[in-house]
C-alpha cells in the first residue's frame, strides 16, 4: 500500500541509455507518476564539506555540490508518467556528463479573475460581438476564407474547403518579447472547448511565429491531428519551407503554457542557441488545414490571452525536488550501416500522390536501431511534393498498429524528372527486431501538392523478405504484389552486442 508520504516523493528506479553519434536518449522509471526535467553539465560537480558547531567544536556534518554551467531538457511524454524519455543533444563519443532530475506533479485546474488578467495581458480576446472588437484579426485563405460565428462569446471557425484557412493577428512590433523587463516569461492561455476530430488528415492548431533580427521559427500548438499525423504526437520538430517548426500536442480544452520553455525545448532540438534575447512573438494564427476535399471542420475558442506572469503556477514540486547526481560516459557508437535493401536495376515506377500511398515490406535479419531510409525516386516536373516516410509493423504484408518511426524530406532535395536518384530521409530512432516484418510507407502531404515516382521491378523482383504494397485510400486498405519490389535501403546502428 502506498502511503500519503510516499506520494509526495519520487525515486529513480531504473536508468537506460541509447547512444547515437552526437546525442544520448535516456529513459528512466520512477516510483510515482510525475513530470521530470533533466539538468545536465559537462563540468564535474565539486563536493564541499560542511560542519556543524556542537558545544564549541566544529564537527563534520555533510556536503553540498556545485552544479554549474547546466542545461535542461524536458521529458518527451506529456503529463505525469512513470516512464520518462529524454534526448540529450551535443553528447558525442568519449564525453562524460553529470545530470540529475527535477520532478513536479500537475496541480488542480487554475481559475482566474478575468478582469485582473485583462489588466496585465498584452493580448486578451474574450471574443466579443464582432471578430475584431479588441484586435484586428484578419482572415487568410488558400483558397477559401473561414466562416465564423459568435454565440455566447464563443468564436466558432469553420473550414468550408479543403486547403488552409484561418485568422491571424500581428501584435505591435516588439510588444511580445519572450521575457519582459521583470524577467517574466511570455505565457499563453487558451480555452478551446470543441474541435473536429473525425477527419483523417485534419490539422488544427495555433501557430505562433517568433522572430529575431536574423531568424524565424514557428511553434504549433496542435489542437487536432488526424490519423495521418499520428507521429506528430506528443511532439515533433521539422523544417518547412526553410523555417524551423516545432509541433507540440495540446488537444482541446484549457491550457496555460510557458512559451519560453517551449522555445528553449525546440531550439535545443534544432541544435541552435536557446538564448531568448532579441526574440519576440510576431504573429498569432488560428490555422485549419484539411487534406480531404469537401470536408467541413471546425474549432471553437472561448478566449486566448498572452501575458507575462506573475500568476499561479499549476504544478507542485515533489520532494526531493532534485534527484541524486548521476554520471555517464558516452562509449561511442559504430557507424551506420546498410541492413535491408533492394537495389537491382529499375524497370518502372509508381506514382505517389494523396491519397495514394506505396510501401515495401521487409524483414530484418539483425536487430538494430533504424536511423535513415533511402528510396530511389524523382518528382514530376513543376510539382513540389514533400516526401513523408513512416515505418509500421506489417504482419502478412499489411501495415498495422502505430507509426514506429517517421521522417520527411523537402521537395528541394528530390531530383526532377527525367533524373532520378537515391533520396535520404532521416528517421526518428526506432529499434527493429529480428524476424519481425515491417513496411516502409511513403506518401505526400496534401491533395494536389505534387507527384513522386518510386522506381521498382515489376516481373522478376528477388528481394526475399518482403513485397511491394499499394493503397488508394490513404492507408486504410492495401493491395499486395508478391512479384514486385521497390528500390529501397534502410540504414541503422547495430544494437550493442547484436553484431
Each residue's pLDDT tens digit, 278-305: 899 999 998 888 766 667 788 888 888 8
Each residue's pLDDT tens digit, 56-86: 677 765 666 666 777 889 998 888 888 899 9
Question: What are the Cα distances from residue 286, in Å, to 121, 187, 293, 355, 446?
Answer: 19, 17, 20, 25, 19
The pLDDT score that the predictor gives to residue 488 is 97
Query: What's the mean pLDDT in 91-110?
Result: 76
The pLDDT score that the predictor gives to residue 312 is 47
Rounded to whole angstroms, the Cα distance separating 377 from 363 reads: 22
Q: Where residue 467 falls among pLDDT bands split at 50, 70, 90? A: very high
**Percent of the chain having pLDDT more than 90?**
32
469 or 49, which is more confident?
Answer: 469
Query: Terminal CA-to-CA distance of the chain, rounded, Å?
Result: 44
Judging by DSSP bridges, how do beta strands 216-225 and 243-249 pair with one another? parallel
Considering just the CA atoms, what is the radius of gyration of the chain in Å?
26
pTM above threshold 0.75: no
**Percent of the chain having pLDDT more than 70?**
82
Q: Where residue 414 falls among pLDDT bands split at 50, 70, 90? A: very high
Q: Is the pLDDT of residue 494 over 50?
A: yes
Q: Is the pLDDT of residue 412 over 60?
A: yes
Rounded to whole angstroms, the Cα distance separating 150 from 128 reads: 7
Name which of 379, 399, 313, 402 is nearest 104 in CA terms.
313
Q: Please provide the size of the chain in residues.
A: 499
Q: Is the pLDDT of residue 203 over 80?
A: yes
Nearby residues of 20 by Cβ (< 8 Å), 6 or more positions away:
333, 371, 429, 493
139 or 207, which is more confident?
Answer: 207
Each residue's pLDDT tens digit, 334-379: 778 999 999 988 789 999 998 899 999 999 999 998 999 999 999 9
Nearby residues of 412 by Cβ (< 8 Å), 6 or more positions away:
none
Q: What is the mean pLDDT of the chain?
A: 82
Q: Is the pLDDT of residue 7 over 60?
A: no
Each residue's pLDDT tens digit, 27-36: 998 888 888 8
Q: Is the pLDDT of residue 314 over 50?
A: no
The pLDDT score that the predictor gives to residue 279 is 92
Nearby residues of 106 by Cβ (< 8 Å), 6 or more positions away:
35, 79, 80, 314, 315
The pLDDT score that the predictor gives to residue 136 is 78
Rounded to whole angstroms, the Cα distance separating 96 from 43 reads: 9
232 or 244, which is more confident?
Answer: 244
Question: What are the Cα distances from residue 392, in Å, to 118, 126, 175, 469?
Answer: 48, 43, 45, 13
Report long-range pairs for 262-265 (Cβ below 8 Å, ≥24 apart): 262/219, 263/178, 263/210, 263/217, 263/219, 264/72, 265/73, 265/74, 265/235
The pLDDT score that the predictor gives to residue 156 is 86
Query: What's the mean pLDDT in 2-9?
Result: 47
Rounded to whole angstroms, the Cα distance separating 10 from 31 reads: 6
Name which of 24, 141, 35, 44 is nearest 92 in CA terms.
24
Q: Is the pLDDT of residue 1 over 70?
A: no
Name which of 363, 346, 351, 349 is nearest 443 in CA terms.
351
Domains of the chain, start order: 6-107+317-329 (2.60.40.10), 114-313 (2.60.120.180), 337-494 (2.60.120)
Amino acid at each position: 500500500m502506498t502511503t500519503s508520504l510516499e506520494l509526495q516523493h519520487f525515486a529513480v528506479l531504473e536508468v537506460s541509455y541509447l547512444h547515437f553519434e552526437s546525442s544520448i536518449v535516456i529513459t528512466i522509471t520512477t516510483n510515482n507518476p510525475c513530470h521530470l526535467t533533466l539538468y545536465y553539465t559537462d563540468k564535474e560537480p565539486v563536493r564541499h564539506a560542511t560542519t556543524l558547531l556542537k558545544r564549541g567544536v566544529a564537527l563534520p556534518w555533510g556536503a553540498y555540490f556545485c552544479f554549474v554551467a547546466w542545461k535542461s531538457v524536458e521529458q518527451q511524454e506529456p503529463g505525469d508518467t512513470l516512464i520518462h524519455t529524454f534526448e540529450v543533444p551535443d553528447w558525442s563519443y568519449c564525453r562524460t556528463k553529470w545530470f540529475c532530475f527535477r520532478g513536479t506533479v500537475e496541480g488542480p485546474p487554475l481559475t482566474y479573475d478575468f478582469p485582473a488578467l485583462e489588466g496585465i495581458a498584452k493580448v486578451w480576446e474574450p471574443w466579443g460581438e464582432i471578430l475584431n472588437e479588441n484586435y484586428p484579426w484578419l482572415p487568410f485563405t488558400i483558397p477559401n476564407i473561414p466562416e465564423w460565428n459568435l454565440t455566447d462569446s464563443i468564436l466558432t471557425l469553420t473550414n468550408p474547403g479543403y486547403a488552409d484557412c484561418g485568422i491571424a493577428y500581428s501584435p505591435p512590433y516588439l510588444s511580445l518579447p519572450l521575457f519582459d523587463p521583470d524577467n517574466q516569461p511570455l505565457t499563453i492561455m487558451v480555452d478551446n472547448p470543441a474541435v473536429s476530430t473525425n477527419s483523417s488528415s485534419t490539422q488544427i492548431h495555433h501557430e505562433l511565429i517568433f522572430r529575431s533580427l536574423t531568424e524565424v521559427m514557428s511553434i504549433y500548438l496542435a489542437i487536432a491531428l488526424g490519423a495521418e499525423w499520428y507521429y506528430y504526437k506528443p511532439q515533433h520538430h521539422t523544417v518547412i519551407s526553410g523555417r524551423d517548426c516545432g509541433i507540440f500536442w495540446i488537444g482541446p480544452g484549457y491550457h496555460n503554457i510557458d512559451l519560453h520553455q517551449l522555445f528553449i525545448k525546440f531550439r535545443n532540438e534544432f541544435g541552435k542557441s536557446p538564448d531568448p534575447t532579441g526574440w519576440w512573438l510576431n504573429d498569432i494564427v488560428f490555422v485549419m488545414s484539411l487534406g480531404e476535399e469537401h470536408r467541413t471542420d471546425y474549432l471553437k475558442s472561448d478566449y486566448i490571452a498572452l501575458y507575462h506572469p506573475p500568476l499561479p503556477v499549476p504544478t507542485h514540486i515533489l520532494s526531493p525536488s532534485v534527484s541524486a547526481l548521476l554520471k555517464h560516459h558516452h562509449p561511442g557508437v559504430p557507424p551506420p550501416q546498410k541492413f535491408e535493401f533492394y537495389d537491382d536495376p529499375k524497370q518502372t515506377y509508381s506514382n505517389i500522390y494523396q491519397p495514394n500511398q506505396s510501401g515495401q515490406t521487409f524483414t530484418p535479419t539483425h536487430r538494430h536501431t533504424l536511423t535513415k531510409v533511402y528510396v530511389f525516386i524523382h518528382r514530376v516536373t513543376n510539382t513540389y511534393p514533400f516526401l513523408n516516410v513512416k515505418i509500421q509493423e506489417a504482419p502478412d504484408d499489411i501495415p498495422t498498429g502505430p507509426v514506429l518511426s517517421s521522417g520527411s524530406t523537402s521537395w528541394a532535395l528530390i531530383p526532377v524528372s527525367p533524373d532520378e536518384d537515391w533520396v535520404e530521409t532521416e528517421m526518428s530512432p526506432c529499434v527493429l527486431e529480428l524476424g519481425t516484418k515491417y513496411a516502409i510507407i511513403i506518401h505526400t502531404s496534401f491533395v494536389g501538392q505534387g507527384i513522386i515516382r518510386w522506381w521498382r521491378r515489376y516481373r522478376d523482383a528477388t528481394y526475399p523478405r518482403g513485397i511491394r504494397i499499394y493503397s488508394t485510400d490513404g492507408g486504410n486498405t492495401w493491395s499486395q504484389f508478391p512479384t514486385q519490389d521497390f528500390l529501397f535501403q534502410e540504414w541503422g546502428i547495430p544494437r550493442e552486442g547484436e553484431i
